[in-house]
Amino acid sequence: MRYMNINAVSKALSEAIEDVRVRESMADHTSFKVGGDADVMVVPKSNKEIMHAVIIADSFGAPLSVMGKGTNLLVTSKGIRGVVLKLADNFSGMVFDGDCVSVKSGTPLAALVREAASHSLGGIEFLGGIPGTLGGAVTMNAGAYGGEIGGFVQEVYLVSKDGAAMLGHDEMGFGYRKSVLSEKPLIVTGAVLRLKKCDAEKSKKRLSELNGKRREKQPLEYPSAGSTFKRPEGHYAGALIEQAGLKGFGIGGAQVSEKHAGFIVNRGGATPEDIIALIVEVQRRVLQNSSVMLEPEVKIIGER
């Protein structure tokens, strides 16, 4: 059920924001390449446009969903009611000052790592292979190969319907794949990271090595949302799934990757419901086999 007149919301948004799209296919904005339409999508270019989107959505009582590049999202076939605020594409950039860098939330992590290396700053090479943006990475304390972005965050800049705010590192409550923002209706507009001085060439070499490792072990040839499940304490999700005999198992066009069981991929023609059903079946079988309940890392959004 639609909550209101979409055209009225889009008209109000268009009066304050340049890039507003009606009934936008989410399949074009997520790495799974599936999903129904968003009622309205806003692609802001400035903090001011973000604030306008928040205020206007609130004034109409429209639900507001925030996304980066859609690399960790699974959108249902019925799509998303309300306004989707896409903080990527037009809202990115960074400014270096000594060993610190101020980064807009839509900045791709790969671009951040490359640019940092060119300034002889490193420590965050592990982020280079994560196909997301700064905002999502800070919200979920993204990490890989033993590193997490939370350890480098000094300040996080936010907006909500009540205005702008800033949280320091100690206020962020970083944990494994989470922060205080995981449960709060706050939008990350940017952050300040303190990096480590490094040799630029060594940093670039390290980045290349990690990306090579990723290409070798992960099913990058198929659409996916990266690691489907969080790592359960004391275990590895991929190993548990493989032990349950699910490597290569599929439902419709969705499949547990034959290359890495921790990934569910779209082999072609998968529906969001195929993927959701496969996630549920993997959880059921792993719980039955290992007494471990896997928690999805992918975020499922949209009308059911």
What CATH number is given to the structural domain containing 170?
3.30.465.10
206 pLDDT more than 70: yes
**Regarding predicted confidence, which is higher, 302 or 205?**
302
Residues 226 and 72 sit within 8 Å (Cβ to Cβ): yes
97 pLDDT more than 70: yes
Task: Say whether 177 is catalytic.
Answer: yes
Nearest one of 242, 265, 243, 239 to 253, comparing CA atoms: 265
The pLDDT of residue 221: 95
Reported as type and span, the H/E element at residue 81 is strand 80-86
Q: What is the mean pLDDT of residues 255-270?
A: 97
Say if 172 falls within a structural domain. Answer: yes
Say if 1 falls within a structural domain. Answer: no
Which range is most confident: 66-70, 176-180, 184-188, 289-293?
Answer: 289-293
Q: Residue 27's pLDDT band (boundaries 50, 70, 90)?
A: very high
The pLDDT of residue 50: 95
2 pLDDT more than 60: no
Task: Say whether 297 is catalytic.
Answer: yes
Same-domain check for residues 104 and 194: yes
3 pLDDT more than 60: no
CATH code for the domain in which residue 243 is found: 3.90.78.10
Q: What is the mean pLDDT of residues 145-169?
A: 94
Q: What is the mean pLDDT of residues 90-113?
A: 95
Q: Residues 25, 120, 155, 177: which is the catalytic one?
A: 177
Coil, helix or strand at residue 304:
coil
Between CA 254 and CA 262, with CA 257 as vertex, the angle to 5 degrees is 105
The pLDDT of residue 4: 64
260 pLDDT more than 50: yes
Give per-residue pLDDT as tens, 281-303. Answer: 999 999 999 999 999 999 999 99
Residues in the chain: 304
**Residue that is written with structure tokens 């190993």 in the block:** 239
277 pLDDT more than 70: yes
Between CA 54 and CA 92, with CA 177 as vertex, the angle to 5 degrees is 45
- Angstrom distance (rounded) from CA 99 to CA 230: 31
CATH code for the domain in which residue 65 is found: 3.30.43.10
Same-domain check for residues 101 and 160: yes
1 pLDDT more than 50: no
Q: Residues 227, 231, 257, 285: which is the catalytic one?
A: 227
Q: Which domain holds residue 14?
A: 6-86
AA identity, residue 245: G
Q: Identify any residues that bridge with 157 across adjacent strands, giving them in sequence order.
A: 166, 190
Between CA 45 and CA 267, with CA 178 as vertex, the angle to 5 degrees is 75
Q: Residues 155, 273, 297, 303: which is the catalytic one?
A: 297
Contacts of 130 (CB under 8 A, 6+ apart): 71, 109, 110, 137, 142, 144, 226
Nearest one of 279, 213, 282 to 242, comparing CA atoms: 282
The pLDDT of residue 213: 81
Same-domain check for residues 106 and 185: yes
255 pLDDT more than 70: yes
Give the tokens for residue 210: 């990690």
Same-domain check for residues 116 and 207: yes
Domain boundary among 86, 103, 122: 86
Q: What is the mean pLDDT of residues 95-116?
A: 96
Give per-residue pLDDT as tens, 224-247. Answer: 999 999 999 999 999 999 999 999
Say if 192 falls within a structural domain. Answer: yes
Predicted model pTM:
0.90
Coil, helix or strand at residue 1:
coil
Domain boundary among 41, 68, 86: 86
Concatenate the DSSP letters of all residues of 104-148 into one string. ETT-BHHHHHHHHHHTTEES-GGGGG--SBHHHHHHHT-EETTEE
**Residue that is written with structure tokens 């630029």 in the block:** 200
Same-domain check for residues 182 and 232: no
- Angstrom distance (rounded) from CA 260 to CA 238: 7
Residues 191 and 141 sit within 8 Å (Cβ to Cβ): no
**Regarding predicted confidence, which is higher, 20 or 207?**
20
Say if 271 falls within a structural domain. Answer: yes
